[in-house]
Amino acid sequence: MKNSFIKKLPFEWAVGLRYTFSMRGSRRDGFVSFISGMSVLSIAVGVMALIVVLSVMNGFQKEVRDKMLSVLPHAEIVHTTAPISDWQALAKTVASKNKEIIGAAPYVRSQGLLSSGANIKGVAVTGIEPKAEKSVSNVATVMRVGKLSDLKPGSFNIVIGTDLARSLGVVPGDKISMMVPQGQFTPAGMVPRMKQFTVSGVFSSGHYEYDSSMSFIHLNDAAALYRTGGPTGLRLKLKDMQEAPVVARNLNSQLQDGYYAFDWSRQNRNWFAAVQVEKRMMGIILFLIVLVGAFGLVSSLVMTVNSKRSDIAILRTQGASQGSIMKIFMIQGMFIGFVGVAIGVGLGLLIAFNVESIVNIIEAMFNVQFLPKDIYLISNMPSEPRADDIIPIAVFSFLLSLAATIYPSWRAARIQPAEALRYE
């Protein structure tokens, strides 16, 4: 049946596919030669590796970004010289001029030193208004113990991350001391100011850096502790976080002197830039595997041309043109490249969509951890296959395979029938 199908194809396609499948009579003797099989395997492995690695890097970037934005706003406005006297009015003004803004909340941010017994830890302290904070971040939804609403003015309660609670050895209800940079003058000299807080809740964003170094207190308590006289900035939430850079630029052109707006990507610019560079370099390095497969394809076709010299000579004597001979071997190479790319895309997608389960099985079997969260910020192996990565990988790999067929095909077309048949 397959043989009859091939006979119905154009001459060049019929001969090219017959060479590829190594037909003998009407029965298939073998799928491809050993070298052709290695070429298919190399191309498939290269395409698979590219898809899996880029999907994991996409997932890693998205996972870290989402965990960052569970406790960080999409954009912020700060007043560089004085507290914001009426943050509600400012929020209404900027929202009326920027339709992307859907939430705003005041804040005070500074540094502090938390201590509990012999444990001491430097932290970022953010003073928030709990009700307004729900409109700009997901802190309330990532609370593991307690509620964000437990932060009441004058209570001096504090909400800390899970890893910070663990390093300080405290649980909700425990007392911890906070030392702030702003000191006070006494007859004995400058003395750091300290205040005792009660741990009222613990949150877990899944981002180690924030879970180990971030804390929240009530806005009024922060203003009193750091003597700011009120909120020093405004946290903003947008409809589309990808529009944050544009919104920040617009705000900087609209706000009065003394105000400055910036977005989430600027807060972690170096990290995101490093990930993009790594992704680009990994793509180039792994593409070399596909290039090795293409070189293998060249070798395979050259060997096929040498073994088919007499067949080529006979075809030429029967009227086949040089263009037809070239087309025969280009079809053979194109089919090998297509099979390799198809297998690579299939395996790559299969692994990319199940990489977390695969990694969990390997970690359980060999008792290893691929992503220590104190180093890689997250502890699971995320994956996000994207069409804008997969399609270019498949197309470029196929075109590279097609380009690899040009020289062997041209060499086959140059064979002279008389020379090829002289010793037959």
**Rounded Cα gap, residues 12 and 331, in angstroms:** 8
9 and 307 Cβ atoms separated by less than 8 Å: no
- pLDDT tens digits for range 30-54: 444 676 777 888 889 989 999 998 9
- CA-to-CA dists, residue 413 to 313, 316, 402, 424, angstroms: 10, 9, 17, 19
For residue 63, give every residue at least 6 positions away whose Cβ sits within 8 Å of its Cβ, in sequence order, or none. Answer: 378, 380, 382
For residue 20, give every residue at least 6 positions away whose Cβ sits within 8 Å of its Cβ, in sequence order, or none. Answer: 32, 36, 331, 332, 335, 336
**Rounded Cα gap, residues 368 and 362, in angstroms:** 8
Mean residue pLDDT across the chain: 84
Query: Is 70 exceeded by the pLDDT of residue 420?
Result: no
- CA-to-CA dists, residue 378 to 59, 97, 121, 375, 388, angstroms: 11, 37, 21, 8, 25
User: What average pLDDT does the segment 250-257 reach?
Assistant: 88
**Rounded Cα gap, residues 338 and 297, in angstroms:** 12
- pLDDT tens digits for range 180-199: 877 666 565 566 788 999 99
- pLDDT tens digits for range 80-103: 778 898 999 999 999 998 999 999
- Residue 384: name the closest of 313, 240, 279, 292 by CA: 279
**Rounded Cα gap, residues 160 and 125, in angstroms:** 9
State the pLDDT confidence band at 386, using cuts at 50, 70 and 90.
very high
**Rounded Cα gap, residues 387 and 67, in angstroms:** 24
> H helices then E strands: how many in the chain?
18, 12
User: What pLDDT is stored for residue 164 in this prediction?
Assistant: 94
Query: Is 60 exceeded by the pLDDT of residue 207?
Result: yes
Percent residues over pLDDT 70 in the chain: 88
**Rounded Cα gap, residues 237 and 134, in angstroms:** 10
User: What pLDDT is stored for residue 189 in this prediction?
Assistant: 56
**Rounded Cα gap, residues 201 and 51, in angstroms:** 41
409 and 325 Cβ atoms separated by less than 8 Å: yes
- Residue 41: name the closest of 395, 294, 406 by CA: 294
User: What average pLDDT does the segment 232-259 reach?
Assistant: 90
108 and 219 Cβ atoms separated by less than 8 Å: yes
Alpha helices by DSSP H, 9-111: 11-21, 34-68, 87-97
- pLDDT tens digits for range 117-158: 889 999 999 999 999 999 998 899 999 999 999 999 999 999
Question: What SS3 state is found at 155?
Answer: coil
This prediction has a pTM of 0.71
385 and 56 Cβ atoms separated by less than 8 Å: no
**Strand bridging mode 119-128 / 214-218:** parallel
Query: Is 70 exceeded by the pLDDT of residue 75?
Result: yes
Give domain limits for the chain.
2-66+271-421, 82-257
User: What pLDDT is stored for residue 109 in this prediction?
Assistant: 92
State the pLDDT confidence band at 325, using cuts at 50, 70 and 90.
confident
Question: What SS3 state is found at 26?
Answer: coil
Query: Is 70 exceeded by the pLDDT of residue 73?
Result: yes
User: What average pLDDT does the segment 374-388 reach?
Assistant: 76
User: What average pLDDT does the segment 21-34 reach?
Assistant: 48
- pLDDT tens digits for range 277-292: 888 888 888 888 888 8
User: What pLDDT is stored for residue 31 in this prediction?
Assistant: 43
User: What pLDDT is stored for residue 185 in this prediction?
Assistant: 61
User: What average pLDDT does the segment 340-350 reach?
Assistant: 94
**Rounded Cα gap, residues 149 and 131, in angstroms:** 7
- Residue 198: name the closest of 170, 169, 162 by CA: 170
